[in-house]
Amino acid sequence: MMTTRARLRKCLGCGLEFPKSSLLRIVRSTAGEVSVDPSGRAPGRGAYLCANADCVMKARKKNTLARVLKRPVDTEIYARIDEMIRSDCGDD
């Protein structure tokens, strides 16, 4: 019997690998728009961050997200990421 292994993705902030389901995906669409992808299935180039405010801060400080997506990332995207992290943690 063959079992499938969950593919791991690397967080851009801390560099650790996690299952795709536990990470937040940011995607650059084929039209060039950068957005947060809560479903993890939107078409386009994806980048992953774990749900940790420190990782988001590191990625923002090093401009890692913009480099990986090859497109500037607006502050609105980072605000949306922060909002999603807070809502997942229940810190409303």
Which CATH number do you get for residue 24?
A: 3.30.1230.10
35 is a domain residue: yes
User: What is the reported pTM?
Assistant: 0.87
3-state secondary structure at position 80? helix
- If one compares 4 and 30, the residue with the highest pLDDT of the two is 30
2 is a domain residue: no
85 is a domain residue: yes
7: pLDDT confidence band, cut at 50, 70 and 90? confident
Note whether 27 and 61 are within 8 A (CB): no
**Model pLDDT for residues 17-71, shown as the tens digit of each residue:** 999 999 999 999 999 999 999 999 999 999 999 999 999 999 999 999 999 999 9
4 is a domain residue: no
Task: Write down the pLDDT at residue 36.
Answer: 96
Residue 88 has pLDDT above 90, yes or no: no
- Residue 34: which domain range? 9-89
91: pLDDT confidence band, cut at 50, 70 and 90? low
How many domains would you assign to the chain? 1
Note whether 53 and 14 are within 8 A (CB): no
